[in-house]
Structure 1
Amino acid sequence: MTGVLALTALGVPAAQADEAPKSKAAALTVLAPSDGDSSAGDTKITKVVVNGGKSLSLGTTARKTITAEVTATDPEGMYETHSFLWNGPGADATNNALGIFQPNSPTGTCTEVNATTTTCKYTIVVDPARMSNSTAGTWKLWVYAIGNDGDHVAKNVAGTTKVLRASTLTANAAPEPVRKGKPITVTGKLARASWDTFQYAGYSAQPTQLQFRAAGTSTYSTVKTVKTNAIGNLKTTVTAVKDGYWRWNYTGSSTSTPVAAAGDYLDVR
Structure 2
Amino acid sequence: MRRHVLWGTVATAVVMTVLGSSSAQAEGRGDIRITKGVTNNGKSVIVGISKTVTFPVKLTIKDNSGVKKLRHIDVSGTGSNASGPVDLIGTSCRKLSHTTSECTATMRFDPHAFPWYSDTDANLTAGEWAAWGNVQANDGDYWIFDRAAPFKFKRAATLTATATRPNPFSDSRQVKVTGALARADWEALKYRGYGGQSLKLQFKKAGAASYATVKTVRTNSAGKVGVTVDASASGSWRWFYQGTANTMQVASPGAVMSLAKPTLHAARLP
TM interval, short-chain normalised: 0.7 to 0.9
Alignment partner of 1:226 is 2:217: yes
User: What are the residue-to-residue correspondences of 1:135-146 with 2, within 5 Å?
Assistant: 135-146=125-136
Compute the displacement of 1:260 (Å): 0.8
- Does residue 175 of the first structure (1) align with residue 175 of the second (2)? no
Flag structure 1 segments of 5+ consecutive residues without an equivalent. 14-26
Match for 1:110 among 93, 103, 119?
93
Alignment map for 1:4-15 (pairs within 5 Å): 12-13=16-17
What is the aligned partner in structure 2 of residue 235 from structure 1? 226
Give me the whole-angstrom Cα distance separating, in 2, the residues matched to 1:153 and 1:11.
10
1:232/1:100 CA distance change after superposition, 3 Å: closer
Asked whether the 8 Å contact 2:164–2:176 carries over to 1, the reply is: yes
For 2:73 and 2:190, locate their aligned partners in 1 and report how far apart those are by CA, in whole Å.
31
| Residue 207 (structure 2) aligns with | 216
Deviates more, 1:197-206 or 1:259-268: 259-268
User: What RMSD, in angstroms, separates the aligned Cα atoms of the two structures?
Assistant: 2.6
3-state SS, counterpart of residue 124 of structure 2: helix
After superposition, the Cα gap between the structure-2 partners of 1:157 and 1:217, relative to the gap in structure 1 and judged at 3 Å, is same
Residue number in structure 2 paired with 1:253: 244
Give the distance between the partners of 2:79 and 2:130, measured in 1 at CA: 11
Report deviation, 1:116. 2.3
Contact preservation (8 Å) 2:180, 2:225: yes
Deviation at 1:80, TM superposition (A): 2.0
Look up the SS of the partner of 1:230 in the other structure. coil
Which whole-Å CA distance do the structure 1 matches of 2:66 and 2:257 have between them? 65
Determine the structure 2 residue equivalent to 1:55. Answer: 44
Aligned sequence identity (%): 36
Distance in 2 of aligned mates of 1:59 and 1:149:
44
1:75 and 1:240, CA in 2 relative to 1: closer, same or farther beyond 3 A? closer
TM-score computed with the length of structure 2 as normaliser: 0.81
* CA deviation string 1:109-161 (max 9, x = no partner): 12222332222111101111233211112211114112222222222111211
Is the contact between residue 87 and residue 135 of structure 1 (CA under 8 Å) also seen in structure 2?
yes
> Which residue in the other structure is 1:155 paired with?
145
Count of aligned positions:
244
Distance 2:204 2:186 in 1: 35
- The answer to whether residue 204 in structure 2 is matched with residue 200 in structure 1 is no
**Residue 87 of structure 1 corresponds to which residue in structure 2?**
77
Counterpart check, 1:68 vs 2:57: yes
Partner amino acid, structure 1, of 2:92:
T
